[in-house]
Structure 1
Amino acid sequence: HSLPEEMKMPKRKCHVVVDSTVEALIGALRDNPRGVLIYKDEIDSLLSNFNRYNSSDEGYFLSLFSGTPFKYSRKSNNEHIFLANPYCSIIGTTQPGRLGEQFGGKRMMNGFSSRFLKVYPEIDKMPSWNDTAMPDSVLEEWERIIRKVVAATPSTDQEGKATSIELLFSQEAKLRVIQWKDEVNNKAYAETDSDAVRALCGKLETYLVRFCLVIQIMHCICGESGMDKIEPGTAELAIRLTEYFRNMESRIAPEIETGILDNRFTELLGNLRDSFTTAEAVREALQLGISESSVKRFLRDGGRGFVKKKSHGCYRKI
Protein backbone atom coordinates (compact mmCIF):
# COMPACT_ATOMS: atom_id res chain seq x y z
CA HIS A 1 0.00 0.00 0.00
CA SER A 2 1.23 3.52 -0.73
CA LEU A 3 1.57 5.99 2.11
CA PRO A 4 -1.06 8.72 2.43
CA GLU A 5 0.13 11.97 0.86
CA GLU A 6 -0.50 13.97 4.03
CA MET A 7 1.97 11.89 6.08
CA LYS A 8 5.20 13.70 6.90
CA MET A 9 8.60 12.19 7.42
CA PRO A 10 9.36 11.93 11.16
CA LYS A 11 11.92 14.38 12.49
CA ARG A 12 15.03 13.08 14.22
CA LYS A 13 15.27 14.79 17.60
CA CYS A 14 18.76 15.05 19.03
CA HIS A 15 21.05 17.30 21.02
CA VAL A 16 24.44 15.99 19.84
CA VAL A 17 25.41 15.53 16.19
CA VAL A 18 28.03 12.95 15.22
CA ASP A 19 28.06 13.40 11.44
CA SER A 20 29.35 16.96 11.01
CA THR A 21 29.21 17.29 7.23
CA VAL A 22 27.33 20.44 6.25
CA GLU A 23 24.50 18.48 4.62
CA ALA A 24 23.97 16.30 7.70
CA LEU A 25 24.23 19.31 10.02
CA ILE A 26 21.63 21.28 8.07
CA GLY A 27 19.25 18.33 8.26
CA ALA A 28 19.77 18.14 12.02
CA LEU A 29 19.21 21.90 12.42
CA ARG A 30 16.00 21.64 10.39
CA ASP A 31 14.69 18.90 12.70
CA ASN A 32 15.98 20.55 15.89
CA PRO A 33 15.21 24.29 15.72
CA ARG A 34 16.48 24.84 19.26
CA GLY A 35 19.98 24.00 18.03
CA VAL A 36 22.46 21.14 18.24
CA LEU A 37 25.96 20.39 19.49
CA ILE A 38 28.83 19.00 17.44
CA TYR A 39 31.13 17.09 19.77
CA LYS A 40 34.51 15.97 18.48
CA ASP A 41 37.03 14.32 20.77
CA GLU A 42 39.62 15.35 18.16
CA ILE A 43 38.42 18.59 16.59
CA ASP A 44 40.91 18.13 13.76
CA SER A 45 38.54 15.57 12.25
CA LEU A 46 36.06 18.42 11.75
CA LEU A 47 38.43 21.21 10.68
CA SER A 48 40.50 19.12 8.28
CA ASN A 49 37.37 18.18 6.31
CA PHE A 50 36.44 21.81 5.64
CA ASN A 51 36.50 22.58 1.92
CA ARG A 52 37.48 18.99 1.06
CA TYR A 53 34.21 18.42 -0.77
CA ASN A 54 32.74 21.91 -0.96
CA SER A 55 34.65 25.19 -0.96
CA SER A 56 31.84 26.92 0.97
CA ASP A 57 31.97 24.71 4.10
CA GLU A 58 34.19 27.01 6.12
CA GLY A 59 32.22 30.06 5.03
CA TYR A 60 29.03 28.38 6.21
CA PHE A 61 30.49 27.82 9.66
CA LEU A 62 31.68 31.44 9.76
CA SER A 63 28.13 32.69 9.21
CA LEU A 64 26.64 30.04 11.50
CA PHE A 65 28.31 31.75 14.45
CA SER A 66 26.00 34.74 14.02
CA GLY A 67 22.87 32.66 13.41
CA THR A 68 22.55 34.02 9.87
CA PRO A 69 19.44 32.67 8.05
CA PHE A 70 20.47 30.04 5.54
CA LYS A 71 18.95 28.40 2.44
CA TYR A 72 20.11 25.00 1.30
CA SER A 73 19.04 22.81 -1.61
CA ARG A 74 19.61 19.06 -1.66
CA LYS A 75 19.98 18.03 -5.27
CA SER A 76 19.65 14.34 -4.38
CA ASN A 77 15.96 14.63 -3.47
CA ASN A 78 15.13 18.14 -4.69
CA GLU A 79 14.62 19.30 -1.09
CA HIS A 80 14.84 22.96 -0.17
CA ILE A 81 15.64 23.81 3.45
CA PHE A 82 15.40 27.26 5.03
CA LEU A 83 16.90 27.81 8.49
CA ALA A 84 15.60 31.04 9.97
CA ASN A 85 17.61 30.90 13.22
CA PRO A 86 20.29 28.21 12.98
CA TYR A 87 22.28 27.52 16.14
CA CYS A 88 25.13 25.08 16.61
CA SER A 89 27.77 24.77 19.31
CA ILE A 90 31.08 23.00 18.66
CA ILE A 91 33.27 21.46 21.34
CA GLY A 92 36.42 19.42 20.97
CA THR A 93 40.03 18.90 21.97
CA THR A 94 43.36 19.07 20.22
CA GLN A 95 47.11 19.10 20.85
CA PRO A 96 49.09 22.37 21.16
CA GLY A 97 51.27 21.36 18.22
CA ARG A 98 48.21 21.25 15.95
CA LEU A 99 46.90 24.71 16.82
CA GLY A 100 48.86 26.54 14.13
CA GLU A 101 47.49 24.39 11.34
CA GLN A 102 43.94 24.45 12.72
CA PHE A 103 43.60 28.11 13.74
CA GLY A 104 46.58 29.97 12.28
CA GLY A 105 47.16 31.86 9.06
CA LYS A 106 43.98 32.69 7.14
CA ARG A 107 41.76 31.33 9.91
CA MET A 108 43.27 33.78 12.36
CA MET A 109 42.81 36.70 9.96
CA ASN A 110 39.22 36.00 8.88
CA GLY A 111 37.89 35.66 12.42
CA PHE A 112 37.43 31.90 12.30
CA SER A 113 39.89 31.33 15.15
CA SER A 114 38.35 33.99 17.41
CA ARG A 115 34.96 32.32 17.10
CA PHE A 116 36.30 29.47 19.24
CA LEU A 117 36.67 29.93 22.98
CA LYS A 118 39.89 28.18 23.95
CA VAL A 119 40.98 26.67 27.25
CA TYR A 120 44.69 26.07 27.79
CA PRO A 121 45.32 25.30 31.49
CA GLU A 122 48.77 25.31 33.01
CA ILE A 123 49.57 21.67 33.76
CA ASP A 124 53.08 21.13 35.14
CA LYS A 125 52.70 17.47 35.98
CA MET A 126 50.40 14.56 35.31
CA PRO A 127 47.60 14.30 37.89
CA SER A 128 47.68 11.35 40.26
CA TRP A 129 45.14 8.57 40.20
CA ASN A 130 42.96 7.92 43.23
CA ASP A 131 39.72 6.20 44.11
CA THR A 132 37.82 9.37 44.96
CA ALA A 133 34.49 9.51 43.13
CA MET A 134 32.03 12.32 42.54
CA PRO A 135 29.26 12.00 45.16
CA ASP A 136 26.07 10.53 43.73
CA SER A 137 24.09 13.44 45.14
CA VAL A 138 26.09 15.91 43.02
CA LEU A 139 25.68 13.83 39.87
CA GLU A 140 21.95 13.47 40.48
CA GLU A 141 21.55 17.19 41.10
CA TRP A 142 23.42 18.07 37.91
CA GLU A 143 21.32 15.61 35.90
CA ARG A 144 18.17 17.16 37.35
CA ILE A 145 19.34 20.64 36.32
CA ILE A 146 20.24 19.61 32.77
CA ARG A 147 16.97 17.72 32.29
CA LYS A 148 15.09 20.79 33.50
CA VAL A 149 16.95 22.94 30.96
CA VAL A 150 16.17 20.50 28.14
CA ALA A 151 12.52 20.25 29.17
CA ALA A 152 12.07 24.03 29.33
CA THR A 153 9.66 24.68 26.44
CA PRO A 154 9.01 28.19 25.13
CA SER A 155 5.45 29.28 24.51
CA THR A 156 3.88 28.78 21.08
CA ASP A 157 1.86 31.05 18.82
CA GLN A 158 -1.51 30.25 17.24
CA GLU A 159 0.17 28.27 14.46
CA GLY A 160 2.01 26.11 16.98
CA LYS A 161 5.44 27.60 16.30
CA ALA A 162 7.72 28.29 19.24
CA THR A 163 8.09 31.93 20.18
CA SER A 164 11.28 33.36 21.58
CA ILE A 165 11.70 34.81 25.06
CA GLU A 166 13.39 38.20 25.19
CA LEU A 167 15.46 39.06 28.25
CA LEU A 168 16.35 42.73 28.57
CA PHE A 169 19.17 44.11 30.66
CA SER A 170 18.29 45.86 33.89
CA GLN A 171 19.53 49.44 33.90
CA GLU A 172 22.36 48.64 36.33
CA ALA A 173 23.45 45.57 34.35
CA LYS A 174 23.36 47.56 31.10
CA LEU A 175 25.58 50.30 32.55
CA ARG A 176 28.07 47.69 33.82
CA VAL A 177 28.31 46.05 30.40
CA ILE A 178 28.77 49.45 28.71
CA GLN A 179 31.52 50.29 31.21
CA TRP A 180 33.33 47.04 30.34
CA LYS A 181 33.11 47.79 26.63
CA ASP A 182 34.40 51.37 26.98
CA GLU A 183 37.10 50.81 29.59
CA VAL A 184 38.31 47.28 28.80
CA ASN A 185 37.39 46.01 25.36
CA ASN A 186 37.62 49.27 23.40
CA LYS A 187 40.93 49.98 25.16
CA ALA A 188 42.31 46.56 24.18
CA TYR A 189 41.20 47.17 20.58
CA ALA A 190 42.82 50.61 20.39
CA GLU A 191 46.12 49.51 21.91
CA THR A 192 46.90 46.76 19.38
CA ASP A 193 47.87 46.60 15.72
CA SER A 194 47.06 42.89 15.53
CA ASP A 195 44.12 41.98 13.31
CA ALA A 196 43.75 38.76 15.30
CA VAL A 197 43.44 40.60 18.62
CA ARG A 198 40.95 43.05 17.14
CA ALA A 199 38.89 40.19 15.76
CA LEU A 200 38.89 38.64 19.23
CA CYS A 201 37.64 41.90 20.76
CA GLY A 202 34.66 41.84 18.42
CA LYS A 203 33.78 38.23 19.15
CA LEU A 204 34.14 38.67 22.92
CA GLU A 205 31.41 41.31 22.83
CA THR A 206 29.09 38.74 21.28
CA TYR A 207 30.11 36.12 23.82
CA LEU A 208 29.59 38.51 26.73
CA VAL A 209 25.93 38.93 25.80
CA ARG A 210 25.54 35.18 25.32
CA PHE A 211 27.15 34.50 28.70
CA CYS A 212 24.66 36.91 30.29
CA LEU A 213 21.80 34.96 28.75
CA VAL A 214 23.12 31.52 29.75
CA ILE A 215 23.98 32.54 33.32
CA GLN A 216 20.63 34.26 33.89
CA ILE A 217 18.69 31.25 32.62
CA MET A 218 20.74 28.87 34.76
CA HIS A 219 20.07 31.05 37.81
CA CYS A 220 16.38 30.78 37.00
CA ILE A 221 16.49 27.00 36.42
CA CYS A 222 18.19 26.60 39.80
CA GLY A 223 15.56 28.75 41.51
CA GLU A 224 18.00 31.55 42.35
CA SER A 225 16.33 34.35 40.35
CA GLY A 226 13.64 35.12 37.82
CA MET A 227 13.76 35.04 34.04
CA ASP A 228 12.45 38.53 33.35
CA LYS A 229 15.72 40.49 32.99
CA ILE A 230 19.52 40.28 33.05
CA GLU A 231 20.55 41.16 36.60
CA PRO A 232 23.70 43.08 37.65
CA GLY A 233 25.24 40.02 39.29
CA THR A 234 24.77 38.08 36.07
CA ALA A 235 26.53 40.80 34.06
CA GLU A 236 29.45 40.79 36.50
CA LEU A 237 29.87 37.01 36.23
CA ALA A 238 29.67 37.20 32.43
CA ILE A 239 32.41 39.86 32.35
CA ARG A 240 34.68 37.71 34.53
CA LEU A 241 34.10 34.73 32.25
CA THR A 242 34.78 36.83 29.14
CA GLU A 243 38.08 38.08 30.55
CA TYR A 244 39.04 34.51 31.45
CA PHE A 245 38.77 33.54 27.80
CA ARG A 246 40.69 36.65 26.74
CA ASN A 247 43.53 35.54 29.02
CA MET A 248 43.33 32.02 27.61
CA GLU A 249 43.62 33.41 24.08
CA SER A 250 46.70 35.44 25.02
CA ARG A 251 48.33 32.26 26.35
CA ILE A 252 47.45 30.20 23.31
CA ALA A 253 48.28 32.78 20.59
CA PRO A 254 52.06 32.13 20.71
CA GLU A 255 51.39 28.40 20.27
CA ILE A 256 49.33 29.17 17.17
CA GLU A 257 51.98 31.47 15.72
CA THR A 258 54.97 29.20 16.37
CA GLY A 259 53.15 26.04 15.34
CA ILE A 260 51.92 27.32 12.01
CA LEU A 261 54.77 25.89 9.96
CA ASP A 262 56.45 22.56 10.34
CA ASN A 263 60.21 22.43 9.94
CA ARG A 264 60.14 21.56 6.24
CA PHE A 265 58.04 24.56 5.22
CA THR A 266 60.04 26.82 7.53
CA GLU A 267 63.20 25.69 5.75
CA LEU A 268 61.51 26.07 2.37
CA LEU A 269 60.60 29.71 2.99
CA GLY A 270 64.08 30.36 4.34
CA ASN A 271 65.62 29.10 1.09
CA LEU A 272 63.39 31.20 -1.16
CA ARG A 273 63.85 34.83 -2.11
CA ASP A 274 61.46 37.44 -0.73
CA SER A 275 59.65 37.25 -4.08
CA PHE A 276 59.44 33.92 -5.89
CA THR A 277 57.48 31.94 -8.45
CA THR A 278 55.53 28.70 -8.09
CA ALA A 279 58.14 26.89 -10.19
CA GLU A 280 60.95 28.07 -7.90
CA ALA A 281 59.02 26.96 -4.82
CA VAL A 282 58.29 23.55 -6.33
CA ARG A 283 61.92 23.05 -7.36
CA GLU A 284 63.18 23.94 -3.88
CA ALA A 285 60.46 21.89 -2.17
CA LEU A 286 61.34 18.72 -4.07
CA GLN A 287 64.87 18.94 -2.71
CA LEU A 288 63.41 19.03 0.81
CA GLY A 289 61.15 16.04 0.21
CA ILE A 290 57.95 18.09 -0.13
CA SER A 291 55.67 16.98 -2.94
CA GLU A 292 54.61 19.33 -5.72
CA SER A 293 50.94 19.03 -4.74
CA SER A 294 51.76 19.86 -1.10
CA VAL A 295 53.70 23.01 -1.90
CA LYS A 296 51.05 24.19 -4.37
CA ARG A 297 48.35 23.65 -1.75
CA PHE A 298 50.56 25.51 0.75
CA LEU A 299 50.83 28.49 -1.62
CA ARG A 300 47.15 28.36 -2.55
CA ASP A 301 46.22 28.59 1.14
CA GLY A 302 48.39 31.68 1.60
CA GLY A 303 51.35 29.88 3.13
CA ARG A 304 49.39 29.73 6.41
CA GLY A 305 49.72 33.47 6.77
CA PHE A 306 53.36 33.80 5.67
CA VAL A 307 52.92 34.19 1.92
CA LYS A 308 50.95 36.66 -0.19
CA LYS A 309 50.09 36.20 -3.86
CA LYS A 310 51.31 39.07 -6.09
CA SER A 311 50.04 37.82 -9.42
CA HIS A 312 49.42 34.52 -11.20
CA GLY A 313 52.30 32.21 -10.26
CA CYS A 314 54.15 34.92 -8.30
CA TYR A 315 54.33 35.26 -4.51
CA ARG A 316 56.12 37.21 -1.83
CA LYS A 317 56.93 36.42 1.77
CA ILE A 318 55.18 38.45 4.46
Structure 2
Amino acid sequence: WQNSQKNDFDFEYQRGISVKLQQYVLRFSILIEVMYSICNNEKLTTISLKTLKLAIKLRDYFFENAVRVFEIIDNTYYDSLTEIQKNVFDKLPQQFKTGEGIEIISKEDLMKIRSFKNFLKDEKLFKKIAHGIYEKQVF
Protein backbone atom coordinates (compact mmCIF):
# COMPACT_ATOMS: atom_id res chain seq x y z
CA TRP A 1 0.00 0.00 0.00
CA GLN A 2 2.68 2.49 1.00
CA ASN A 3 4.75 1.87 -2.14
CA SER A 4 1.73 2.54 -4.35
CA GLN A 5 0.99 5.96 -2.84
CA LYS A 6 0.79 9.01 -5.06
CA ASN A 7 4.10 10.90 -5.24
CA ASP A 8 3.24 13.81 -7.52
CA PHE A 9 1.03 16.19 -5.59
CA ASP A 10 -0.36 19.46 -6.89
CA PHE A 11 0.87 21.30 -3.79
CA GLU A 12 3.80 20.79 -1.44
CA TYR A 13 1.64 20.88 1.69
CA GLN A 14 -0.34 17.87 0.38
CA ARG A 15 2.86 15.84 0.08
CA GLY A 16 3.86 16.74 3.64
CA ILE A 17 0.48 15.75 5.04
CA SER A 18 0.49 12.47 3.10
CA VAL A 19 3.98 11.45 4.25
CA LYS A 20 3.12 12.17 7.88
CA LEU A 21 -0.14 10.24 7.75
CA GLN A 22 1.47 7.25 6.03
CA GLN A 23 3.52 6.81 9.18
CA TYR A 24 0.37 7.08 11.28
CA VAL A 25 -1.29 4.12 9.52
CA LEU A 26 0.82 1.74 11.60
CA ARG A 27 -0.17 3.50 14.81
CA PHE A 28 -3.83 3.58 13.80
CA SER A 29 -3.65 -0.17 13.10
CA ILE A 30 -2.31 -0.91 16.56
CA LEU A 31 -4.92 1.27 18.24
CA ILE A 32 -7.81 -0.27 16.31
CA GLU A 33 -6.57 -3.81 16.94
CA VAL A 34 -6.16 -3.11 20.67
CA MET A 35 -9.71 -1.74 20.82
CA TYR A 36 -11.06 -4.84 19.07
CA SER A 37 -9.10 -7.12 21.39
CA ILE A 38 -10.37 -5.38 24.52
CA CYS A 39 -13.99 -5.29 23.33
CA ASN A 40 -13.92 -8.99 22.40
CA ASN A 41 -11.88 -10.02 25.46
CA GLU A 42 -9.19 -11.57 23.23
CA LYS A 43 -5.42 -11.66 23.45
CA LEU A 44 -3.68 -9.39 20.96
CA THR A 45 -1.26 -11.38 18.81
CA THR A 46 -1.36 -9.89 15.31
CA ILE A 47 -2.71 -7.00 13.29
CA SER A 48 -5.38 -8.27 10.91
CA LEU A 49 -5.77 -7.21 7.29
CA LYS A 50 -9.23 -5.91 8.16
CA THR A 51 -7.72 -3.63 10.80
CA LEU A 52 -5.06 -2.39 8.40
CA LYS A 53 -7.73 -1.52 5.83
CA LEU A 54 -9.65 0.41 8.49
CA ALA A 55 -6.46 2.27 9.43
CA ILE A 56 -5.94 3.25 5.78
CA LYS A 57 -9.52 4.55 5.61
CA LEU A 58 -8.85 6.56 8.75
CA ARG A 59 -5.69 7.97 7.14
CA ASP A 60 -7.68 8.97 4.04
CA TYR A 61 -10.25 10.72 6.22
CA PHE A 62 -7.58 12.69 8.08
CA PHE A 63 -5.79 13.55 4.81
CA GLU A 64 -8.92 15.01 3.20
CA ASN A 65 -9.76 17.03 6.30
CA ALA A 66 -6.21 18.29 6.76
CA VAL A 67 -6.16 19.53 3.16
CA ARG A 68 -9.51 21.28 3.66
CA VAL A 69 -8.34 22.92 6.86
CA PHE A 70 -5.08 24.05 5.27
CA GLU A 71 -6.94 25.65 2.37
CA ILE A 72 -9.33 27.42 4.75
CA ILE A 73 -6.67 28.86 7.06
CA ASP A 74 -4.09 29.54 4.37
CA ASN A 75 -4.15 33.32 3.89
CA THR A 76 -3.45 33.20 0.20
CA TYR A 77 -4.01 30.20 -1.95
CA TYR A 78 -1.36 31.54 -4.31
CA ASP A 79 1.32 31.06 -1.64
CA SER A 80 0.56 27.34 -1.50
CA LEU A 81 1.46 26.86 -5.17
CA THR A 82 4.79 25.40 -6.22
CA GLU A 83 7.31 27.78 -7.78
CA ILE A 84 6.56 26.30 -11.20
CA GLN A 85 2.82 26.86 -10.77
CA LYS A 86 3.39 30.44 -9.60
CA ASN A 87 5.65 31.09 -12.59
CA VAL A 88 3.06 29.71 -15.04
CA PHE A 89 0.22 31.60 -13.36
CA ASP A 90 2.18 34.87 -13.47
CA LYS A 91 3.06 34.49 -17.16
CA LEU A 92 -0.52 33.88 -18.29
CA PRO A 93 -2.56 36.92 -19.36
CA GLN A 94 -5.71 37.81 -17.39
CA GLN A 95 -7.87 36.09 -20.01
CA PHE A 96 -6.53 33.43 -22.36
CA LYS A 97 -7.36 30.44 -24.49
CA THR A 98 -6.03 26.98 -23.67
CA GLY A 99 -3.91 27.04 -26.83
CA GLU A 100 -2.33 30.36 -25.85
CA GLY A 101 -1.47 28.96 -22.43
CA ILE A 102 0.07 25.85 -23.98
CA GLU A 103 2.12 28.06 -26.28
CA ILE A 104 3.44 30.06 -23.31
CA ILE A 105 4.40 27.01 -21.24
CA SER A 106 5.89 25.19 -24.24
CA LYS A 107 8.00 28.16 -25.36
CA GLU A 108 9.77 28.34 -22.01
CA ASP A 109 9.39 24.63 -21.14
CA LEU A 110 7.67 25.55 -17.88
CA MET A 111 5.26 22.64 -17.47
CA LYS A 112 4.03 19.57 -19.33
CA ILE A 113 0.84 20.05 -21.33
CA ARG A 114 -1.07 17.44 -19.31
CA SER A 115 -0.04 19.12 -16.05
CA PHE A 116 -1.08 22.48 -17.47
CA LYS A 117 -4.54 21.18 -18.40
CA ASN A 118 -4.94 19.77 -14.87
CA PHE A 119 -3.72 23.10 -13.48
CA LEU A 120 -6.51 24.88 -15.40
CA LYS A 121 -9.11 22.81 -13.52
CA ASP A 122 -8.25 24.60 -10.28
CA GLU A 123 -11.32 26.77 -9.77
CA LYS A 124 -9.57 28.86 -7.14
CA LEU A 125 -7.09 30.05 -9.76
CA PHE A 126 -9.06 30.01 -13.01
CA LYS A 127 -12.62 30.67 -14.08
CA LYS A 128 -13.79 28.92 -17.23
CA ILE A 129 -15.55 31.57 -19.30
CA ALA A 130 -16.36 29.37 -22.31
CA HIS A 131 -15.01 26.23 -23.92
CA GLY A 132 -11.23 26.67 -23.97
CA ILE A 133 -11.32 30.22 -22.58
CA TYR A 134 -10.17 30.97 -19.04
CA GLU A 135 -9.78 33.96 -16.78
CA LYS A 136 -7.37 34.21 -13.88
CA GLN A 137 -8.93 34.79 -10.49
CA VAL A 138 -7.71 37.88 -8.67
CA PHE A 139 -5.88 37.53 -5.34
* Higher share in strand: 1
TM-score w.r.t. length of structure 1: 0.24
TM-score w.r.t. length of structure 2: 0.49
Rg larger in 1 or in 2? Answer: 1
